[in-house]
Amino acid sequence: MATVNIQPQMTIYELGEVLSTYIKEQWKEVLNRNIKELEQLFPKYEDATYGIYLDKLIPPIWKLIKENGFRSAEKTKEDDFVIGGCLHFRNSMEKAKWGTPHHEKRVFWIVIENQYKDEIGTLLFELPHSHIEFNLPAPPKSLPLKEIKREEIIKKIIQLEENLS
């Protein structure tokens, strides 16, 4: 992993840039390193196979983010399905009209708080994927938002995705 410079005083936009850069640099390498295993698992686990991929991609950068005083503002509940150490499945959306069965998109969000427990914004994580076979038809993406309330985040995601259509 390239040198990642995360500072405790970063804004959500600066933190988002670090995450975005990490994803751009690592997504393909992690995919290529694990593709045979993931393709073999897909017939049995289907969509959950993408969670296995994210469990390999996200933890190294999430560890660095946490080491610099940032946390998910969301408390993990007993029945939460958590992917990559930080993505709560209940804080995600997927809409059929955003793609095709070969190119769906699921968008996760994490409200981020700093070391002072101030909610500084939200990191979106978009995972393009196929429901037909294990395939990432486009690179995953990350985007920072100033919004921190669930309803506002959902509204912003819908607005962003439908402007792309």
Query: Which tokens belong to 58?
Result: 């996200």
Residue 36: how many other CB atoms lie within 10 Å:
9
Digitized pLDDT (tens) for each residue of the chain, 165 residues in all: 556 789 989 999 999 999 999 999 999 999 999 999 999 999 999 999 999 999 999 999 999 999 999 999 988 888 889 999 999 999 999 876 677 778 889 999 999 999 999 999 999 999 999 989 999 999 999 999 999 999 999 999 999 887 765
Which residue pairs from 3-9 have beta carbons closer than 8 angstroms and sit at least 24 positions apart in sequence?
A: 4/61, 4/64, 6/64, 6/65, 6/67, 6/68, 6/70, 7/68, 8/68, 8/69, 8/70, 8/114, 8/115, 9/114
Contact in structure between 136 and 31 (CB atoms under 8 Å): yes
Contact in structure between 108 and 87 (CB atoms under 8 Å): yes
Whether the model clears a pTM of 0.85, i.e. scores above it, the answer is yes
